[in-house]
Amino acid sequence: AVRARPPLAPVKHGAVAAAVPQTNLRRDCRWYSVSHLSVKERIDKKRTAALVGGGQKRIDAQHKRGKLTARERVELLLDPESFVESDMFVEHRCSDFGMEQDSNKVTGRTHASDLCNIMDQAMTVGAPVIGLNDSGGARIQEGVESLAGYADIFLRNVLASGVVPQISLIMGPCAGGAVYSPALTDFTFMVKDTSYLFITGPDVVKSVTNEDVTQEELGGAKTHTTVSGVAHHAFENDVEALLNMREFFNFLPLSNQDPAPIRESHDPSDRLVPSLDTIVPFETTKAYDMLDIIQTIVDERDFFEIMPNYAKNIVVGFARMNGRTVGIVGNQPKVASGCLDINSSVKGARFVRFCDAFNIPIITFVDVPGFLPGTAQEYGGIIRHGAKLLYAFAEATVPKITVITRKAYGGAYDVMSSKHLRGDVNYAWPSAEVAVMGAKGAVQIIFRGKENQAEAEAEYVEKFANPFPAAVRGFVDDIIEPSTTRKKICRDLEVLASKKQVNPWKKHANIPL
């Protein structure tokens, strides 16, 4: 699938060379030298040995654990023959300790330097970086050298951030310092049941806090994709993960210098979607599934959702419109009425910033009743975190198209890619209600203690619970028939393809972290 694109530079955490146990190689080498093989023959032998990796026994052991070897992973991720392993002949320096060598551990300076070389190269040519992580953490025996190795990688991650897309696929334990590399990359995907991410494992947790917790509970795929929000997606197994990675990769541009890719599309850009005319329920309190809207509008119902199981009150992910990659952000009325809270704000903000960094237009579907009230949210810093989403939308200079499907209340209206934050095209469906708050709440405040609340409520609905007040002020560009939404967005994206907008010069902005 990625054949037509320039070769990506894979970061092979635990490059395959790592798999060659020093002892065997040495013995082989010795043997070669006594046999007086030609240099070419020796190179060939070594290449074969490197390809076999840690030997059939180790390969079998890895398979037994339900995992693939590093080489198999890389082969599956990339098209056959499109991948030339770099530094195949680099030998592992640290096997003298007699440690069990896993074929895919990031275990030391040598490998860190491999990684750094590759990442430097990726940044130079502008190619995405995909890391396949399967590492037990720093090797104590290597001492400070391994810490330095980590830091070298972290620095590369930070420097590459926003320059080339960086994706981490966690395919085994990834503990200790090693976790910060995936944390610094744009997307972290995990494999269910075989991958873990934690700062310290269950044993250390037990000794320090006396908590009993399993690896899975502490840092398994489920924990990180539903509770912590550390990972963006979880897949059933190595094969699923790698195949999905290929699909995902097809959405991304190569670097911040490249436009969002446009794939040949068979889905007519002017396709009408009649089902959207009835999707928003008549009763404003009734929920519907924002995913239904997204799937019918985008090309071929193909939507790659990011963090589908975390902060589900906001939906984010990638799709294509007339072949062009777009980022989709939508409030999800089905979950917590689609309100914005700490987690959903952070989830949305990070996604919006990724899109902005990599020239991916953002389409926002708004049905938001407001920010979630309460002490939990206030103590947790909803002001600070909510500001992140506001900040992200405001600073984004990529094409921004907004569709208000129903509620757009209060500050949350402002936040959700409103006209005021330089939204390029802001549409409202006839069911839209752009207002400071809902009718009931508003009337209770305005007419506190007065009678005829019902009457006042009806008047409020008539006056404010519709798209007109916003439309007459130019805060929405048009009130559109929902069925025409796809057609309109596709057309707008064509026009906005040449959008150029530059923020004032700064060393870097200061998002409220």
Q: Contact positions toward another protein, by CB under 8 A?
A: 1-6, 63, 66-68, 72, 75-76, 79-80, 82, 126, 192-193, 236-240, 243, 250, 254, 257-259, 261-268, 274-279, 282-283, 289, 292, 295-296, 299-301, 323
Please give the structure tokens belonging to residue 127.
């190619």
Minimum CB–partner distance for residue 424 and another protein (Å) = 20
Q: For this structure, is 66 an active site residue?
A: no
- 282 vs 379, beta carbon nearer another protein: 282
* CB atoms closer than 10 angstroms to residue 5: 17
Strand locations in 17-56 (E): none
Residue 13: partners with Cβ closer than 8 Å, 6 or more residues away: 104, 105, 106, 111, 115, 131, 132, 133, 134, 135, 181
- 1 vs 155, beta carbon nearer another protein: 1
How far is residue 419's CA from residue 324's CA, in Å, rounded to a whole number?
Answer: 23
Strand, coil or helix: 140: helix
CB 121 within 8 A of CB 51: no
Minimum CB–partner distance for residue 501 and another protein (Å) = 20
- 274 vs 374, beta carbon nearer another protein: 274
Task: Kindly name the residue from 53, 172, 177, 338 that is annotated as catalytic.
Answer: 177
- 254 vs 372, beta carbon nearer another protein: 254
Q: For this structure, is 423 an active site residue?
A: no
Minimum CB–partner distance for residue 418 and another protein (Å) = 28
Minimum CB–partner distance for residue 495 and another protein (Å) = 15
- 96 vs 292, beta carbon nearer another protein: 292
Task: Kindly name the residue from 176, 220, 330, 338 that is annotated as catalytic.
Answer: 176
CA-based diameter of the chain, in Å?
104
- 305 vs 395, beta carbon nearer another protein: 305
Beta strands at 362-368 and 324-331: parallel, antiparallel or unpaired: parallel
Minimum CB–partner distance for residue 270 and another protein (Å) = 13
- Residue 91: DSSP 8-state: P
Residue 359: partners with Cβ closer than 8 Å, 6 or more residues away: 253, 256, 258, 259, 260, 398
Task: Kindly name the residue from 49, 138, 349, 412 that is annotated as catalytic.
Answer: 412
Strand, coil or helix: 305: strand
Minimum CB–partner distance for residue 280 and another protein (Å) = 9
How far is residue 215's CA from residue 358's CA, in Å, rounded to a whole number?
Answer: 35
Residue 285: partners with Cβ closer than 8 Å, 6 or more residues away: none
Task: Kindly name the residue from 411, 441, 456, 458 that is annotated as catalytic.
Answer: 411
Minimum CB–partner distance for residue 116 and another protein (Å) = 23
Q: How far is CA 410 from CA 111, 307, 368, in A?
A: 52, 26, 9
Q: For this structure, is 176 an active site residue?
A: yes
- 130 vs 416, beta carbon nearer another protein: 130
Q: Which residues pair with 435 in a beta bridge?
A: 409
- Residues annotated as catalytic are 176-177, 411-412
